[in-house]
Amino acid sequence: MEMGWKVLDLVIQPDHVHLFVRARRTTSATEVVRQCGCRTSHDLRQKYKHQLRLPSPWTRSYFSSTTGNASIHTIQRYIRSAKGFMRKTYEYRLRPTKAQENRLVATFTACRFIYNWGIEDRKVLWQYCHVSTNFNDQSCYLKHLKDANPWLKEVHAHPLQDAIRRVERSFDRFFKAAQHGHGYPRFKDRNQYDSFTFKEWGNGASFNGKRLYLSKIGRVRIVLHRPIEGDIKICTVKRRADGWYALFSVVCEDPEPSTIRDPVGIDLGLESFATLSTGEKIENPRYLRANEQELKVAHRKVSRRKKGSHRRRKAVQHLRQVHLRVQRSRKSFHFTEAYRLARRFNPIIVEHMNIKGMLRNHCLAGSITDASWGRFLGILSRSAESAGGASIAVEARGTSQECAQCGRAVPKTLLERWHVCPCGYIVPRDENSARVILKRGLGRSVGEGACSKALPMIREAAPL
């Protein structure tokens, strides 16, 4: 291979390609990926026929790299163990005692202190020394912080390390601000840092009988309203407006492929939340509009209270609870409809919408935010995957102007709610759009749709 590199192995997976390259020690992983990125899976298969394994169809290629002295067999064993599994998150309510609640608050305070220190440390080092730091350097400095602040020793090491990891992710997003619009990381006050994480199950967090044991906190009562399926990997404790919650990130096996072969196209809208290509409509519940008056009253109470007073804190707490109720109502609606669709249809074809661009229309921004299309599309994609099906995202441009019967362009304004084509095809506008989406999705193979961030159609193995 070019530049003296040696191709060790080429493994063909169902939806991607693993290319293992041995390069010089002075060569960065970025340079290897840049050089290999111009090669397609077809070129690799033709050039390295003697190293092909597990031949099967694929849709796109991924190139992964690792540092250190990890052998090729170690990397292959890791990828083989990660293949065929999916991540899920289970959420349960905690009912801590008053003493345990005080220790939870102390843990949040310590994590917030480390988070703010991490931002300040990076800022000062670059401002005065033009030196950048990373997660490993700041993690090594934790022991010195504990010596200078003995109260930090009362908190398990994992939540503190996770706070530094969040600082690193915040700066990573900041450096990509031109693409994603993230600003410089800010310091957090006591009302903004509301979760901490134990990154390894069994080390700091585990089940002790019917209770959840958290290191340095105790055995906390947990409401296990449903069984946990899979192996728990990560435990996160979160504080919400109505109490404390534990979130478990589990790894479970991929479901069996669905036997359903009934495709459907879905057109999302505001008059109706969704219109199916079968003609069915899902009504838009408009939870934010329904609770708008109560929110106005709650906001008015907060604005009339004196800042820093006890009555203002109570008013803010009530406002947070109203917003949480609206959020949960919307989330329950999304999961219910996504579950129903995933059990009836396969594949599910939706449109790849530019929701951020649509929010620039101030006349419709409130209604679009209330509908929360992006969150629904993400839930729908994961529901289809859990059911063993597939979801496809197709180009949204022109779906409302094209005739599903003859393919002719029929211009319409937003006020025109019926599709009337010269060919004689007359249907409601949204139903025609759903059938156009279905037609476009069936015109390509499953998995080749233009995927947005909300619909991860092809999953890559987790990083080493």
Each of the 464 residues of the chain gets a pLDDT tens digit; together they read 556 667 666 665 545 566 676 766 666 666 666 666 555 555 655 665 554 443 332 222 333 444 445 555 555 555 555 456 778 899 999 999 999 999 999 999 999 999 999 999 999 998 888 888 889 889 999 989 999 999 999 999 999 999 999 999 999 888 877 566 678 899 999 888 999 999 999 999 999 988 999 999 999 999 999 999 889 999 999 999 999 999 999 988 778 777 878 889 999 999 899 999 888 999 999 999 999 999 999 999 999 999 989 999 999 999 999 999 999 999 999 999 999 999 898 888 898 888 888 888 888 888 999 999 999 999 998 888 888 888 888 888 888 888 888 888 888 888 888 888 888 888 888 888 899 988 888 874 333 333 333 333 333 333 33
pLDDT for res 16: 57
Contact 70, 464 (CB under 8 A): yes
Q: Rounded to 5 degrees, what angle do the CA atoms 16, 443, 409 make?
A: 135
The alpha-helical segments, DSSP class H, found in 363-459 are 365-371, 373-386, 429-442
Ramachandran quadrant class, 286 (left: phi over 0; alpha: psi -120 to 50; beta: rest): left
Question: Given strand 281-283, what is the order of strands in its sheet?
Answer: 281-283, 272-276, 264-268, 348-352, 391-395
Contact 271, 364 (CB under 8 A): no
Ramachandran quadrant class, 413 (left: phi over 0; alpha: psi -120 to 50; beta: rest): beta
Predicted TM-score of the model (pTM): 0.72
The domain locations on the chain are: 2-84, 90-253, 264-285+323-442
Contact 436, 275 (CB under 8 A): no
Helix or strand holding residue 251 (H, E): strand 243-253
Type of residue at 191? N
Domain covering 264-285+323-442 in this structure, CATH number: 3.30.420
Give CA separation, 269 vs 243, 249, 277, 387, in Å: 34, 33, 14, 25
CA distance 87 to 234: 11
Contact 248, 234 (CB under 8 A): yes
Number of Cβ within 10 Å of residue 263's Cβ equals 18
Residues 6 or more apart in contact with residue 387 via CB below 8 angstroms = 255, 258, 342, 343, 346
